[in-house]
Amino acid sequence: MELTNTPHLASSSFFFSSCSPCACRSRRTGKAVITAFAAGSRCSADSIYACPEPIEQHNVDSLSVASGPANTQCYRRRDFAAVALLPFLLPHVDMASAADSYDGSIIQNGVRNVLSKVKAAGVLRLVFHDAGTFDISDKSGGMNGSIIYEADRPENAGLSKSLKILRKAKEGINQVQQVSWADLIAVAGAEAVALCGGPEIPIRLGRLDSSTADPTGKLPEETLDVVALKTSFGKKGFSAHPCLLGRTQEMVVLSGAHTIGGKGFGNPNAFDNAYFKVLLEKPRPTSSGMPIGLPTDWALTEDDECLRWINIYAKDQDKFFADFRDAYTKLVNSGASWRTA
């Protein structure tokens, strides 16, 4: 696992762009790497994990926890979160105090203390129901922790248990440093994926929480056909862009999260590409006489473009993992507001 404290430069466009390299310093202990980047610079990454940034909601001083391979030019140092100071177009901001006071490994460890494979699907579902309220037209909703006010809504049935699990983690983390619900849920979802054997996903930190519930009716309904699903994803900012994936591809790859949990797609505790393999089975399979999955899962098979990606991911799990990592990163940054130092 890699832990990266990464300041980002505000973008002039809502659409997401990949990041350019910057110098850094890091401390490596086993697989853990803690890195502090220069203030005012973008994080060093390639297209494997781009850093989506919502318009007008950036700060120089946001941090990130990365649970994937770092593509930085680093040199080892024992001191935690040392900051390389580089001149940039923006006024200089000293990141040392912010980096020192926000240790991503504390959040990860807090989540790991309460998370298990049988709880992973519910925790991952929290991410989709918090971030999935984002509406690009008015920039409402998104990854803002408002799910804590929305647990009694019909579409969020069952999520109270997952919130209770993360509340326990939050109480422990807050004894050391404060963590927002938005950051906690984003990290917990990534940890749930990794725990079940899925890809390790870098998570940018520094999200602010909403103090109110998001508007109702923003989540896609389980009965939507594929045309309505595409429209719904388009409203959430999932559209074609050269630095990430296309709307249909992102919709299909994120639906692959149903591979874990009780929807009947293979091993409920294994994050793999079984979801896509099951969708290709003819006739439509059942589990103990009960239908597998949701109507929206099978709606994907009725669209040629979706079916093309289902076939690709059914044959290539590594491709599924890489694309899921990118789409998840985009999802948990959607609509987020970011803290300053």
3-state DSSP call for residue 313? helix
> Which of these, 323, 258, 322, 318, lies nearest to 294 by C-alpha position?
258
> Is the distance from CB of 297 to CB of 258 less than 8 angstroms?
yes
The continuous run of DSSP H or E covering 27 comes out as strand 24-29
Checking if the pLDDT of 98 tops 60, the result is: no
The continuous run of DSSP H or E covering 101 comes out as helix 96-101
For 271: left if phi > 0, alpha if psi spans -120 to 50, otherwise beta; the answer is beta
pLDDT at 67: 53
> Which of these, 189, 326, 139, lies nearest to 249 by C-alpha position?
326
3-state DSSP call for residue 97? helix
> Is the distance from CB of 144 to CB of 333 less than 8 angstroms?
no
Checking if the pLDDT of 234 tops 90, the result is: no
> Is the distance from CB of 322 to CB of 200 less than 8 angstroms?
no
> Which of these, 199, 230, 195, lies nearest to 108 by C-alpha position?
195
> Is the distance from CB of 147 to CB of 159 less than 8 angstroms?
yes
pLDDT at 305: 93
> Which of these, 271, 119, 267, 116, lies nearest to 198 by C-alpha position?
271
> Is the distance from CB of 131 to CB of 250 less than 8 angstroms?
no
Q: Which residues are catalytic?
A: 129
Among the residue ranges 178-187, 240-249, 286-295, the one predicted with the least confidence is: 240-249
Checking if the pLDDT of 176 tops 90, the result is: yes
Checking if the pLDDT of 273 tops 70, the result is: yes
Checking if the pLDDT of 172 tops 70, the result is: yes
For residue 323, which phi and psi values (nearest 5 degrees)?
-75, -35
pLDDT at 92: 26
Burial 181-200 (b: 16+ CB within 10 A, else e): bbbbbbbbbbbbbbbbebbb
pLDDT at 13: 25
Spatial distance between the Cα atoms of 32 and 105, rounded to a whole number of angstroms: 9
> Is the distance from CB of 115 to CB of 67 less than 8 angstroms?
no
pLDDT at 66: 56
Q: What digits encode the pLDDT tens for the residues 8-35? A: 323 222 222 223 333 333 333 333 322 2
> Which of these, 106, 169, 155, 168, lies nearest to 126 by C-alpha position?
155
What's the mean pLDDT in 39-52?
31
pTM for the predicted model, two decimal places = 0.73
Q: What are 317's two structure tokens?
A: 């799990």
Segment of 36-45, 55-64, 99-108, 250-259 carrying the highest mean pLDDT: 250-259
Residue with token string 């807050």: 174
Q: Give the chain's domains with CATH numbers.
A: 106-205 (1.10.520.10), 226-332 (1.10.420.10)
